[in-house]
Amino acid sequence: MTKKKIVIIAGAVILILAMAGLVVPRILGGNKEEIVAEVPPTVTVVKPEARNIQLSSELIGTIEPDSIVYVTPLGSGEITNTGVQTGDMVSAGQLLCVIDTKQVESSKITAETARVSYEDAKKNLDRMTVLYQAGDVAEADYQSLVDKVQLAKLQYDNAKIGYNIQLESSQVTAPISGRVESFNVKVHDMVSPSTVLCVISGEGGKAVTFYVPERIVNGLKTGDSIKLEKNGTDRSAAITEVSTMIDQASGLFKVKASIPDGNTLATGTSVKLYVISQKADNVMTVPVDSVYYQGGDPFIYTYVDGKLKKNAVKVGLADNSFMEIKEGIQVDDQVVATWTSELYDGSVVTLSDAGSKENQAVQETAPETKTETEGTTLESSVAAQ
């Protein structure tokens, strides 16, 4: 073999060995990638709990006396005398003003005339009774006299009632004891039954009046407690009246609440108040962060035998921390409370022991009721996700 052929063969061998050196590591490297296992994501779980969820609404109310009366006359006429003025304290039955109804004297004369007629008819019957008993008066004539006496008495009684009404109409008295908040008339003013003569507030405490829409009024009832805030001071009040008819001026329902310690609140001032607008008692709840949405439909992941299960659910009320679950999971399900992009239906996960223990401790000390200011919606509970 010539020297030239030996050199060519040696070069070919070297080339083959070089190529093998490049291919073998790649093959071995490929095998190494295939046998490397992915680490399943770690999740923590919580158990659904029974809680009370309450949502409150912030409103504005007006302070007024706990008891208040708007005094109006029974008849029309001219004011001839006044006995009080704004700011006076009055007692029940005290004279407020006198109205010349122009009918008091007329009704008095009518009553007096009816009285005379009745007494004359009665005297005549007494005389005829003696003759009737002696047989000198016929039965029919005597009975006619009896009927006339009864008719005269009825006319007299009716005339007295008319006179008393006119007299009462002319003398307006205070229906309750309290303070005259406003006195709107003076001497020589003409008034009618539609005229508000004065406003009297009772001697009791104060109340707050506010208006609510139908969505809120349906959740309010007499005796419910509400919170007031005025100048940085909180007070409590109890609902005493809930209107079932819409106020024509506001288009809302009027509600009134009594304030036991509200004597220092000025009548007519405004206060901020909070009422429970919606509530759900003893309902199954989960943390709001464990509820996800797909196409607007809520769902929850639960942990079952090392894998995740996607559960379509029906939700209810929600505050900033918890959400009511009406359908879709059971009370003993393990609800996934952590989020990772690797979660999907059927995915293999590792359960965090620390997370489970922490959740158990939280459940033992968690409050039963959460109250938040209204405005939290189901969509906002997952907005951060």
Cβ pair 47, 331 in contact under 8 A: yes
Burial class (CB in 10 A: 0-12, 13-18, 19+), 263: exposed
What are the structure tokens assigned to 91, written together?
């007692």
- Give the chain's end-to-end CA distance (angstroms, integer): 79
Per DSSP, the residues of 336-357 read E----TT--TT-B-EE-HHHHH
Mean pLDDT, residues 34-61: 82
Sort strands 49-65 and 369-373 into parallel, antiparallel or unpaired: parallel
Residues 47-77 as b/e (b if ≥16 CB within 10 A, e otherwise) read ebbebbbbbbbebebebbbbbebebebebbb
Q: Which of 102, 95, 90, 81 is nearest to 189 (CA)?
A: 81
Instruction: Read off the pLDDT band of 272 (50, 70, 90).
Output: very high
- Give dist(CA 131, CA 367) in Å, integer: 96
Say which range, 14-23, 155-164, 247-256, has the weakest mean pLDDT: 14-23
Least confident range from 259-268, 308-317, 365-374: namely: 365-374
> Which range has the worst mean pLDDT, 218-222, 238-242, 373-377?
373-377
Ranges assigned E (strand) in 5-104: 42-43, 45-46, 49-65, 68-71, 77-82, 89-90, 95-100
Contact 200, 184 (CB under 8 A): no
pTM assigned to the model: 0.48
**Contact by Cβ (8 Å): 103, 75:** yes
**Pairwise pLDDT comparison (168 vs 10), residue with the higher score:** 168
Q: For residue 8, what are the contacts with CB-CB under 8 A and spacing of at least 6?
A: none
- pLDDT at res. 266: 83
Q: Number of C-alpha atoms within 13 angstroms, CB side, residue 292?
A: 18
**Torsion angle (degrees, nearest 10) of CA 174, 178, 182, 187:** 40
Alpha-carbon span 303 to 355, nearest angstrom: 13
Give the domains, in start order, of the chain with CATH numbers: 42-54+280-382 (2.40.420.20), 57-68+203-278 (2.40.30.170), 69-191 (no CATH)
> 103-146: per-residue pLDDT in tens?
777 778 888 888 888 888 888 888 888 877 877 788 888 888 88
Ramachandran bin of 89, using left for φ above 0, alpha for ψ from -120 to 50, beta for the remaining angles? beta
Cα distances (angstroms) measured from residue 5 to each of 1, 15, 83, 121, 314? 7, 16, 144, 170, 85
